[in-house]
Amino acid sequence: MRITKSWYLIAYDIREPKRLKRLHYRLRKRAIPLQNSVFMVKLTDKHLDRLSNEIKNHINSVQDDVRIYPIHHPDTLWSAGKQVKALRGLYAGAKKHKKQKKTGIIRRLLGNH
């Protein structure tokens, strides 16, 4: 039995600085940062549920806003600006101009696809 992973885009708006730092720290350990409050992650359904529950337990549901959007593949997202060069060739199927060394979280997240 093969467990499949899917891509998700996580965006948040946290009102209180302490909660903001905590959530940002947790997501940086598991996901690829695209902007200060936007992350991309590849997870199984089970791990998505676990992450969603963890987020719910660490935010104020009245003041804060966290959204998780499923995406087909990172290459389907439109992007422009300084992050485009940094992320080019990161995803499977993308053309690579130079051999890039993937380190840390990126290697762990993209290792099996």
Cβ–Cβ under 8 Å, residues 30 and 103: no
pTM of the predicted model over 0.75? no
Per-residue pLDDT, 83:
66
Residue pLDDT, tens place only, 22-41: 999 999 999 989 888 999 99
- Helix axis angle, 17-30 relative to 45-57, nearest 10°? 160
Q: How far is it, in rounded angstroms, from Cα 83 to Cα 13?
A: 20
Confidence tier at 3 by pLDDT (50, 70, 90): confident
> Residue 37 to residues 9, 11, 21, 51, 113: CA-CA distances in angstroms?
11, 6, 11, 16, 25
How does DSSP classify residue 2? P
Q: How far is it, in rounded angstroms, from Cα 78 to Cα 60?
A: 31
- Identify the CATH class of 6-110: alpha beta
